[in-house]
Chain A
Amino acid sequence: MAKSNRYLMAVSILIVILLVASIVLFQYKAYLLLSFLLIGCIMLPMFARFEMKEIGGREIVMLAMLAAIAAVGRVPFAGLPSVQPTTFVIIMVGLVFGAESGFLVGAVAAIVSNIFLGQGPWTPWQMYAWGMVGMTAGLLRNTWWMSKLWGKCVFGFVWGYLFGWFMNMWIIVGNLESFSWEFFTGIYVASIYFDLAHGLSNVFFLLVFGVSWMRILERFKKKYGLFDFQRA
């Protein structure tokens, strides 16, 4: 626990330094550039932790496989606009394998799906957003409400919106200098349908498949003695 506190401290100090530096150095307000640096600084320590950790080949293969499944999960849904199971898969991973695995699978799934759909300035934002989906699922998995089905559904629904809102941010941040509330609400109103679809499909998947997916992942965890080291 002490370790993760120190890590959080380090990250927050780093962010403050970056913000100060940005105000001093970037008089001309390159906010988008700054936002990438920030996202990089938040994610880097998590990857660094993964680099340092004692972890077996089997775990790495599992994480890679789950990330790949999350990324190709869109394929069977190609005919259904705005229904994608990636978020659902990442939530499941977070719930069963914990916060760190959830984060890694989310972030890597974003890179992988963009290698086939095209990388762009949205890649880091997506990495962060999906990473956070997995991480929060892992962090909250032991709370009393998360163990209830309705709790998971609320969680999935909320993330449908949060994800969309977060992805809108890169448009807003890129345009921060001409920020106005109309602009802000305009963007969010425009995305409301997509976010609703995202949230609802998360809920649908969690309701219908949540139990069976958890069971499948738990079976693997047990069968192959995976991630025993990771309790927190």
Chain B
Amino acid sequence: MELLAMENVSFEFPDENVKVLQNIDMHVSEGEFVVLCGASGCGKTTLLRLLKKELAPVGKRTGEIRYGGKAMDKWDDRTLVEEIGLVSQDPDNQIVMDEVMQEIVFGMENLAYSNFEMRKRVAEMVHFFGMENLLQTKPSELSGGQKQMLNLLSVLLLKPKVLLLDEPTSQLDPIAAKELIMMLERLNKEMGMTIILVEHRLEELFAVADHIVMMEAGQIIYEGMSRELVHSLYMTEDERFIPYIPSVSRMYMEFDQMPVASQVPLNVKEARGWLSTQSAQLSSGHVHESTTEKRQANPLLAVKDVYFRYGKKDKFILKSFSLQIRQGEFFALVGGNGSGKTTALKACIGSLRPQRGNITFEGKEITKLKGLDLAGKVAYLPQNPRTYFVQDTIGKEMEDAVQRYGVVNGGNRITEVLESFGISNLRERHPYDCSGGEIQKAALACMLLGNPEMLFIDEPTKGLDPISKQRFAEIIAELHKQGITIMMVTHDIEFAAQNAERCAMMFDGEITVDGTPGQLFKGNYFYTTALNRATRQSSVGEVLTLEEARILWRNPIVI
């Protein structure tokens, strides 16, 4: 039965003559799991918000939106609040109360439920979520994943029929993201909840979703069931959307002689099944180890036996943490939550003073560097690049940087850098009116004005759509080629495996393994790419990334 429908819906914001949505037609049946994707700015968030009446953006809308067979505007506010729930991106921002229990009941309080009803619902749902022992904690003590679960729980207590989610996993680490997706799958399968999910990271979602909608520039470009969609995307060779497809499906589409829609694998298990039939067709090559001999360059950053803890009674977060990064290297540090990798990065940029051991940059203690000695040589791209901007336009910020670094011929240099990043249009823009990918480039552009020797990057792929991610990878590769030394901390193993030349894994406060991506990730159960999990111990040879597969399987290097 049809639950939600959009018919010929167009939308434009006031004072802007651009249609954010154009002639959208979408039908969602009860119990369906719909995934909505597209590059940032494609209108998917606007579409989602039009379905949540209280948050519907102000502007000119034409066309019809129906819920349960009745026009959306004809429903009363209360019913819509209860029946259509929304969880959005940032886990922290959605929490309003200072205690988990109070946060859980917040929605029910607003709708003036009786205390009896509240207790009943809380008891039931809290148990389902297994959050009993967190009820008295403060939100600031929860992990990102727990916070997002709390947000979901608080919405679910109103017993919605439709759940709208706007990039709910974009700020989470992979494990927490997977848990959230699994919870959504359970809600969909066990309770028949209708789910509309806007997301960039689709690796697991193709297997879960009943229906996938792909958007660009305010229009629905493709929609359909996962397998058919993958197939038709490859048939039309649409480069805009192929990066959204899970790597195992891409592997199938690229390497199968006669790909058939119904056979497209969507998860590791199916991919392994397919691979086992392929040994004859795919030539198996030997593992091609990148034989770049260890550079003899001097270490730029040297960390020796560092110990760090926040308080005297806390446990050590860094324990005998040692690391050397040579001039010109591209190094990625990966590790789970709580492994200490963020603390390690903070120590490397000199924000923390280790209790034992030392960290030197070009032979000088990093915590003692200040002013231009630090700012002129080191750049740090944080998880949230907005924190970099002090001025109210990107142009002004760059002029600031020119002044700070004493760049000669600053004006020209700014134009040059902006053009090389392809963001000249952002010059007059407020940093907060840019998308995640744009702001990242803008911050990098400012930093490059100072000609840094070393670039530290923290979780660069958080919240980026696959296209922006690709662009970012290209930019970083270019910088690396120009000779900038890079240290990156990330959860995103796919990204690290594709881009870094040396990776290390952090565990319990120290580096446990250090080597090329191949050495590090191949053969792991969890800490590796989906493609590796699919190809491990297969007859065609183990690969980490699609690029590697292309090289290895098509043009085998026989030693």
Interface residues of A (CB under 8 A from B): 61, 212, 215-216, 219
Contact = CB atoms under 8 A, between A and B. Distances in A.
A219 B96 CA distance: 24
Contacts of B392: 212, 215-216, 219
Interface of B is mostly: loop
A61 B96 CA distance: 9
A164 B430 CA distance: 39
Nearest to B391: A212
A61 B392 CA distance: 23
Interface of A is mostly: helix
- Give the top 4 A-B pairs by smallest Cβ distance, nearest first: A215-B392, A216-B392, A219-B392, A212-B392
Interface in B95-109: 96
A104 B147 CA distance: 29
Contacts of B96: 61
B431 to A, nearest CB: 12
Interface of B: 96, 392, 430
A212 B391 CA distance: 9
A61 B97 CA distance: 12
B93 to A, nearest CB: 10
A212 B96 CA distance: 29
A216 B391 CA distance: 10
A215 B392 CA distance: 9
A72 to B, nearest CB: 13
A153 to B, nearest CB: 23
A61 B95 CA distance: 11
Nearest to B392: A215
A226 to B, nearest CB: 14
A224 to B, nearest CB: 11
A212 B400 CA distance: 15
Nearest to A60: B96
Nearest to B430: A219
6 contacts: A61-B96, A212-B392, A215-B392, A216-B392, A219-B392, A219-B430
Nearest to B93: A61
A216 B431 CA distance: 12
A212 B392 CA distance: 9
A138 B392 CA distance: 25
Contacts of A212: 392
B393 to A, nearest CB: 12
A45 B430 CA distance: 40
A212 B389 CA distance: 13
A10 to B, nearest CB: 31
A57 to B, nearest CB: 9
A85 B430 CA distance: 25
A61 B430 CA distance: 23
A31 B392 CA distance: 51
Contacts of B430: 219
A215 B430 CA distance: 12
Contacts of A219: 392, 430
A216 B390 CA distance: 11
A175 B430 CA distance: 55
A185 B96 CA distance: 46
A103 B96 CA distance: 22
Contacts of A215: 392
B313 to A, nearest CB: 20
A216 B430 CA distance: 11
A110 B446 CA distance: 38
A217 B430 CA distance: 14
B406 to A, nearest CB: 22
A210 to B, nearest CB: 15
Nearest to A225: B58
B92 to A, nearest CB: 13
B7 to A, nearest CB: 30
A223 to B, nearest CB: 9
A5 B196 CA distance: 53
A44 B385 CA distance: 43
A219 B393 CA distance: 13
Nearest to A64: B96
B241 to A, nearest CB: 33
B142 to A, nearest CB: 19
A40 to B, nearest CB: 24
A212 B430 CA distance: 14
Nearest to B433: A223
B15 to A, nearest CB: 12
Nearest to B110: A57
Contacts of A216: 392
